[in-house]
Structure formats: structure tokens, C-alpha cells
Amino acid sequence: MLKCEQVTYRYNETDGIFNISLNIEKGECVALIGLNGSGKSTLLHAMAGLINPQEGSIEWEGEAVRPPKVGIVFQHPDNQFITTSVLDEMVFGLENIGIPREEMLERALAALDQVGMRWALEKHPMQLSGGEKQRVALAAILAMEPDVLLLDEVTSMLDPVAREHFQQIILHLKQKGWTIMYTTHLVEEYLMADRFLMLDHGELVFDGDLEQLASSTQLPMPFTVELQRTFGLNVKASTWKECIDSLWTSN
Amino acid sequence: MDIQLDSITVEKEQYTVFQNLSVTFREKRWTAVVGQNGVGKSTLLEVVKKLYKPKSGTVTAPDNIGYLFQHADAQFFEPTVEKELQFAPLHFGWSKEKIQQGIAEVLEMVQLDASVLVKSPYQLSGGQKKRLALAVILILQPTVLLVDEPTAGLDPMQKKMMLDVLKKWQLQGNTLICITHEMEEVLAYGDDVYMMKKTGDHQMKTVEECFFKSPDSLLEAGLALPPSVACFHDVQNRLQTPLNPARTNDKLLRSIVEGMKINGILD
Ligand SMILES: Nc1ncnc2c1ncn2[C@@H]1O[C@H](COP(=O)(O)OP(=O)(O)OP(=O)(O)O)[C@@H](O)[C@H]1O
Ligand SMILES: Nc1ncnc2c1ncn2[C@@H]1O[C@H](COP(=O)(O)OP(=O)(O)OP(=O)(O)O)[C@@H](O)[C@H]1O
Ligand SMILES: [Mg+2]
Ligand SMILES: [Mg+2]
């Protein structure tokens, strides 16, 4: 279990996260949502052990959070890169956590294949396009196989098909029992989550599932939810196609 | 005037980004540039802005082109918003009065309150920063604006504000070329779509053609239709009757419901 107890991290009087308490069970997939500046990245950084809250504590399985148990993919990939080639970028993290040489390359290539970036092994990370950077940044953390995966808007620069692949990757990791928390401003990505946490001005203001989110907030919703509402169906994370199919067979 | 690229070939460190690319961007339109990661969208705009010299080919474009970089909102260097806005006009020798008037106009245009002038650019929220970056460009009164993924990372409200600002500016008779991965934005705001493909077989189509008349064209470019439009086509195929095309999810849903009612699938 990932346990946050009364966590406060303040940059100044008004900005930061304030008195956040929550538990995330092993194997949960949680979407962390909220407006620009609501504190999502700050909370993820605290959960990854990158910043130390002034108050409160964050633990994973009873121990203070730290890499590599908790892995984070940054909102801006440029902030994550430290080496001069894509391959080095992949290997660096694995070396740090003591993965044997033979296995390192295997893991690195498998992760790059997942995001379609094996072709770029020798490229300098800074020579990549925006979306390519984001893919490599994701692969580097996936290869480390953390217990808890924190993803900070990792699809913002991906093309639509890469976003679909990303959703497949997450669904696959969910099946494998990974604990995942991701932030996004793209409502279609809500559908991967079992649970939603919403921040507002650094405070936790919502904790519930998709149905509760749809009924208790005015937020824009994925198209399939709009469709379900229009047709008076129960709100759930089924695809629009499944909804249309069900309407057709019932009539 | 239109913007014309003729047989452009670009190499970056021995990597051929694209070859023999020719395209015309029509004036006063909103052209969305779409395509998979790495296909060369950002590079194309660099070439139009003449930041990057192609290995061969010619570019015909007006001189006064504004370019909103993807991370322009992380590159402010003045202590206050006001100084940031004054910087370029001062460089061009504008008078005090002209600068002041320009600032007032441009703040109004991008929907920022005059109270931000005394703040540090970095005190603004994510969406405000993006619009400030836009204001810094618009104050020089370009007639063409190139923007690289202007809504990436913005929350839905900030996104809409940014897009509405861009639309209003374009409708004043200006030309906008906008790179994006958000197909719903293309549908709601665009006039033309330039689809760049890994095969080099790039295509210019109107939004109407691209989303409704030949919806396979986005798939062929390795992209995807937004769920609302995919659903629209699915229902249309099942009903075997044309539905009313529309530009927003709300309206598409309405067309879908109407079609299903008329055909007895719903009562
Ligand atoms: N290093 C910093 N110094 C001072 N204030 C900061 C710093 N980093 C973030 N803030 C402020 O703290 C608040 C929360 O920021 P944070 O980046 O966590 O928000 P967010 O929810 O991730 O936003 P976005 O959706 O734009 O990524 C914002 O008001 C932000 O301006
Ligand atoms: N300086 C460079 N040296 C070598 N290759 C480069 C350089 N800059 C870009 N590239 C490559 O050129 C290709 C096109 O890059 P560009 O940034 O134009 O793509 P894009 O279509 O904007 O992609 P994205 O959707 O990810 O932003 C990419 O494959 C990229 O890796
Ligand atoms: Mg953030
Ligand atoms: Mg780009």
C-alpha cells in the first residue's frame, strides 16, 4: 500500500499541496486530475521521494518512498534526460539499480520496442522530436520495472496512435498487478483508471470512481460517458462501440 | 498571400527529415498540421519561418511571420510581464505611446488582465503563460502565425481559451498554421488539414473531407478519428442513411440520436 498521511509541501503561502491523506492499494490504477497548477506534479514528486514534504509522511509497503521502488516519468522529458544517447539513457537507470549487463540490454530493447523507439538507439535525446522524447522517457522507467509507476502527463505530445498504444501498455501493466498513478488533461484517458483523485488549489477534493466523478462534478467527460448519459445507460468505462452494440441488440 | 513551399528537402545531421515536399497553405485559413511523432511537423514550420535552411527547394512567404514555439512559455527572460511585452517593440524603435497602445490591444486579444503587467511571467498559471507567449508575438502584428502544439499540457478550460483567442485572431483576416495531435480541436477550429505521412505522401484536405467525406484518410496517415466522429460513422453505416455532420461532440451526439430515432432504434 502507498500511504500518504497529512502531507503538506508548500512553495509559499498559496502554492503547493496541503494536508493530503490517502491510501493507494497495491494493483490500483489511479488517475490524478485537476486544473493547471492544482498540485498534481508536486504530489507525484513527493510520492516519488524527490521532494521532502515539510509535514506528513509517504510510505510504500511501510517504508519511506524512494527510487527504484517508485518510478516517475516527468511531465517534461527534457528534465529527465542526463546522457548523450538514447541507449545510454535506457541503460543508466538499470545500471544504477544493479541489473546484470546481459539483462540490461535485453530490458532496454524490449522497453524501446514497446514505444516504437528502437530505431533511435544512437540518437542524442535532445535531437529527438517532442513525442519521441516522451516515448523514450517512458521506456526508460518501464525498463526499471518499479513497484509503483507514477506518470505525469506522459502522453501530452504523443500522436493519436501512440496514445492508443500507451493505453494498451497501461492495461497490460494493470493485469500484471502494477500500481499506477497518472495525471492527464485528456479526458479520453480517464477510461484506464479504477479510481480518481482530484486536486484543487493543492487540496484533495474528490476521491471516487468514474460514475461518481461523472455525477458529482461538471467536468468534461470521455465521449463514451456522454453517450451513456444521453441514452440513460449506467456510466462505466465501456467503449462507445459496446454502448452502441447494446442499444442495437436491445431494439 | 498564400505560403508556398516548393520541392523542399531537409537534412538534420545527415538525417533526411523530408524530401521534395511541396505544399501551399492558403491565406486567411486555419490549417492544422497533423501526423505521427517524428514525421517532420516542427521542422516544416522551422523552414517556413526560415529558421532552418533546407538543403534544396524554395519557400515563398510573407516577411512578418510569428512563431509560437512549443516551449515558448518556459523561455521568458524579463522580470515583469510588461517588460517582456515591451522588449521586441523597443528593439524595433517603437514610440512609448505606440508600445502602450500595443500592449493594451494585445492583452485584450489574449484575454489577460492588465493586473498581470507587474507580475513576473513565471508567476502566471500554465494557460496564462501560454497566452502571454502568444501576446509577445502578436504585439508585432504578424499576418501569419505558426504555432506548435499550443494546447499541449493545458487543462480543458485553458485549452478552450487559447483556441478561442487564436480563432478570433485568424478571423480578423490572418493566416494560422497550427501543429496538433488533438483531432477534436482540428475538427472544431480548423479549415484545412495537412496530413504528413512517414511515406512522404503528404496530403492537404479540408476538414470536411478529412473527417466526413473520406474519413479513412486520417487512418491512412497513421492517425485516428476522435471517438465522437468514429461513432458517427459507425451509426451512419449501421443505419445506411446519412447523418448531419457537425464540429463538436454535443452536436455529433445530437445527429446520432436523431438518426437513431428516425430509424426506430430509439423511441
Ligand atoms: N518550483 C516552484 N516554485 C514555486 N512555485 C511552484 C514551483 N513549482 C510549482 N509551483 C506552483 O505550485 C502550484 C502547483 O504546481 P504543480 O506543478 O504541482 O501543478 P500541476 O497540477 O502539476 O499543474 P499542471 O497541470 O499545469 O502541470 C502552482 O501554483 C505552481 O505555480
Ligand atoms: N538535430 C537533429 N538531428 C537529427 N535528427 C533530428 C534533429 N532534429 C530532429 N530530428 C529528427 O527529425 C525528425 C522530425 O522531427 P520533428 O521535430 O520535425 O518531428 P515532429 O513531426 O514535430 O514530431 P512530434 O510530433 O514528436 O513533435 C524526427 O525523427 C527527429 O528525431
Ligand atoms: Mg504538472
Ligand atoms: Mg514537433
Distance CA B184, CA B247 (A): 8
CB within 8 Å: A164 and B224? yes
- pLDDT confidence tier of residue B158, bands split at 50, 70 and 90: very high
- The answer to whether residues A223 and B227 touch, using CB atoms and an 8 Å cutoff, is yes
Interstrand relation of B15-25 and B175-179 (parallel, antiparallel or unpaired): unpaired
DSSP A15-58: SEEEEEEEEE-TT-EEEEE-STTSSHHHHHHHHTTSS--SEEEE
Of residues B43, B62, B23, B69, the one with CA closest to residue B144: B62
Cβ neighbors of B202 (< 8 A, separation 6 or more) are B21, B23, B35, B194, B195, B196
Q: Quote the DSSP letter at residue B63.
A: S
CB of B215 within 8 Å of a chain A CB? The answer is no
Contact list in B for residue A127 (CB cut-off 8 A) is 12-13
pLDDT cut 90: percent of chain B above it: 91
Q: What is the mean pLDDT of residues B173-188?
A: 98
Please give the pLDDT value at position A248.
86
Please give the pLDDT value at position A219.
92
- pLDDT confidence tier of residue B187, bands split at 50, 70 and 90: very high
- A129 CA from centroid of ligand 2 (Å): 4
Q: Is B89 a residue whose pLDDT tops 80?
A: yes
Ligand 2 atom nearest to CA at A134 = 26
Q: What is the mean pLDDT of residues B110-128?
A: 92
- B14 CA from centroid of ligand 2 (Å): 12
In chain A, which stretches have pLDDT less than 70? 251
Q: How far is B254 from chain A (nearest CA, A)?
A: 9
Q: How far is B69 from chain A (nearest CA, A)?
A: 12
Q: What is the mean pLDDT of residues B199-227?
A: 95
Q: Is B92 a residue whose pLDDT tops 80?
A: yes
- B125 CA from centroid of ligand 3 (Å): 11
Pick from A161, A166, A187, A221 the residue to mutate for testing the B interface (most B CBs within 10 Å). Answer: A161
Distance CA A193, CA A228 (A): 18
- pLDDT confidence tier of residue B139, bands split at 50, 70 and 90: very high
